[in-house]
Amino acid sequence: MYSFIVMAEFQVPQFIEEKPKIVGPLTISQFLYLAAAGGISILGFYVLTFTLWLFLSMVVVGAAFGLAFVKVNGEDLPSVIISGFSFIWKPRRYTWQRAMEQTTLDITDLEKIQTLRKNISIQDKIKSLAQSITTGSILHRRPETSERYQAVTYLTGERKVAKRVDY
C-alpha cells in the first residue's frame, strides 16, 4: 500500500504591483486628478473670461493628465515630485571625522620605531628575495660566461636549474 500526500494548489496572484482599476480603466488617484481638473475648468468657465479660462484650462488639464498618466523610471509623477521636494528641503549633513587620540612620544619610543622600520625593510627585502628565488624570476649568471640559467619546475614537481636559450 502506498500513500501519497496531495499538496493543495493555490493560485498565485499576478500583477500585484498594479493599482486596482476602480472607475472604468482608471485608478482612483487618476480619476481624482482628472475630476479635479474638470471641476476647476468648469468653475473657471463661469467665473473667468474666455481667453483666460482657455489658458487656465489647458494648464490645469495638462497638469492633471501628467499627474495621472506620466511615469518616470516606473514611478508615478506625484511620487517623483514629492521625492524631489523632500530632497531639496530635507536637511542633509554628511560628516565623518575619525577620532584620533593625541599621544606624546618619548625619544626612546622614536628610536624603537626607527629600529622597527629598519628591521621591517630588511625583512621585506629578504621576503622579496626569497619569493623571487622560489618563483625562478632571478636569472643566475656565471661570471666567466654570459650563459643564463633559470629554475624550472616540471609537471612532477621536480625543480631543476636549466640553461635558458633565447631565440
What does the domain layout of the chain look like in residue ranges?
28-89, 107-164
The pLDDT score that the predictor gives to residue 106 is 65
Beta-carbon-side half-sphere exposure of residue 32 (alpha carbons within 13 Å): 5
Question: Residues 39-44: what's their mean pLDDT?
Answer: 95
Cα–Cα distances (Å) from 159 to 96, 126, 135, 148, 150, in that order, read 54, 21, 11, 16, 10
Beta-carbon-side half-sphere exposure of residue 117 (alpha carbons within 13 Å): 6
Please state, for a pLDDT cut of 70, what percent of the chain lies above it.
81
Question: Residues 123-146: what's their mean pLDDT?
Answer: 65
Q: How confident is the model at residue 1 (pLDDT cuts 50, 70, 90)?
A: low
Q: pLDDT, tens digit, for every residue of 47-63?
A: 999 999 999 999 999 99
The pLDDT score that the predictor gives to residue 139 is 53
For residues 130 and 132, give the distance between their C-alpha atoms in angstroms, rounded to a whole number: 5
Is 140 in contact with 149 (CB distance < 8 Å)? yes
